[in-house]
Amino acid sequence: MAENRETDFVTVAAIRKGKDKTQQYLLNERQRIFVLADNAAAKGDAGRLLAQALEKRTPVKVTLDTRRPVIQQVVALSQRELDEFTKTRIPLPKAETDRNAAIDLAKIDPTRFNIVDAYLKWRCFRRCTRVIPSYAKAKEIFDFCAQLSCHLPGPYAVTPCIPFQYVRDGCYARAHQMRRIITTRYRYCCEKVFSYAPYTDDVLAVQANKWGGCCVEWWYHVAPLVRVRVKFRLPLLPKNFSIVLAMVIDPGMFDKPVLLSTWLAAQENSGCSPDANVSAYSIQPGSAYGPANYAGTAFVTDPGYVDTLNTLVGYSGLTTCP
């Protein structure tokens, strides 16, 4: 049976009050929105340590419930642990970090929004030009990644398996492992797209239809973004016409590559939460692993895939819906 507790070093992105007046804790290293367990809140030390961690921008050691978004225990780091954390938390250089963009999904035109170089002019696209040449090839890559899912019996073409069946958290590790596959096995460009719900009571809310249909909430989400050349013939043109579209590879949510606008819209499921709202997104280099601040303007990397592999293994036996 999978362990229902995990302990890790984390930094606090923000502390905010929910509509029910509970304190919500947003952690840079986790996409879920956490609250303190009743016994931890009653002692007072946990809340104080988390508030200090936010103010001083220092890490703490937390014990988390993998079934519910609950912080069970908070402990200050020893000097050795702090040194270990600092050594492994490698920032994405400022020169490579792109902006965040505010977004109102109700107002975008999906027929134009997904066209690279027409609407999407992100700086990181200049770093690599080898885009995926067809939707068929993008689907081949998607299917290869999806077959690595830990809920399938294996053997797996690449190990460890990827826990697509547990979408409550771990998107950063799933995305980074897929990025490694896309860039090293297939040799195509791969960026990361981050979506955010950082303001007031906003949440990203999705219905996990692939894993039982329960609702899942996050404060951010990330997945590999690829550029795909799509060719077609227009009646008045003498030859084939092509455009490059931004598409997302996310087997935890979908059964095929989807347009960026489709991926974003799926995270505004009002049936799961009346507060569902994707208020910002950003496209970053594929080396970006996870956010390093609440504003989504700084990121950390995992060049050795150490955090990636630890998370994949740790979540391999977990499931999304009860």
* pLDDT tens per residue across span 208-228: 999 999 999 999 999 999 999
HEC readout, the chain: CCCCEEEEEECEEEEEECCCCCEEEEECCCCCEEEECHHHHHHCHHHHHHHHHHHHCCCEEEEEECCCCEEEEEEECCHHHHHHHHHHCEECCHHHCCCCEECCHHHCCHHHHCEECCCECCHHHHHCCCCECCHHHHHHHHHHHHCCECCCCCCCCCCCCECCCCCCCCHHHHHHHHHHHHHHHCCCCCEEEEEECCCCCCEEEEECHHHCCCEEEECEEEEEEEEEEEEECCCCCCCCEEEEEEEECCCCCCCCCEEHHHHHHCCECCCCCCCECCCEEEEEECCEEEECCCCCCCEEECCCCHHHHHHHHHCCCCCCCC
pLDDT > 90? residue 43: no
- Cβ atoms of 279 and 154 within 8 Å: the answer is no
- Read off the pLDDT band of 122 (50, 70, 90): very high
In tens, the pLDDT along 44-57 reads 899 999 999 999 99
- Read off the pLDDT band of 238 (50, 70, 90): low
Q: pTM for this one?
A: 0.95
> CA-CA distance, 278 to 290, in Å (whole number)?
17
Residues in Cβ contact with 4 at an 8 Å cutoff, skipping those fewer than 6 apart: 65, 66, 67
Average pLDDT score over the chain: 94
Of the candidates 162, 200, 208, which has an alpha carbon nearest to the alpha carbon of residue 311? 162
pLDDT > 80? residue 237: no
Question: How confident is the model at residue 1, as a pLDDT?
Answer: 42
In tens, the pLDDT along 86-100 reads 998 999 999 999 999
The residues with which 132 forms a beta bridge, in sequence order, are: 228
Residues in Cβ contact with 291 at an 8 Å cutoff, skipping those fewer than 6 apart: 13, 28, 194, 220, 298, 299, 300
What spatial distance separates the first Cα and last Cα of the chain, rounded to whole Å? 14
pLDDT > 90? residue 240: no
Of the candidates 155, 181, 322, 307, which has an alpha carbon nearest to the alpha carbon of residue 251? 181
- Looking at per-residue confidence, does 17 or 142 come out higher? 142
Question: How confident is the model at residue 20, as a pLDDT?
Answer: 79
Q: What is the mean pLDDT of residues 186-215?
A: 95
Question: How confident is the model at residue 3, as a pLDDT?
Answer: 67
In percent, how much of the chain has pLDDT > 90? 88
Note the residue count of the chain: 322
In percent, how much of the chain has pLDDT > 70? 98
Question: How confident is the model at residue 235, as a pLDDT?
Answer: 72
Lowest mean pLDDT among 20-24, 193-197, 288-292: 20-24
Q: What is the mean pLDDT of residues 285-311?
A: 96
CA torsion angle for 140, 142, 147, 148 (degrees, to 10)?
A: 130
Question: How confident is the model at residue 203, as a pLDDT?
Answer: 96
Question: How confident is the model at residue 243, as a pLDDT?
Answer: 93
The residues with which 5 forms a beta bridge, in sequence order, are: 65
Q: What is the mean pLDDT of residues 180-198?
A: 97
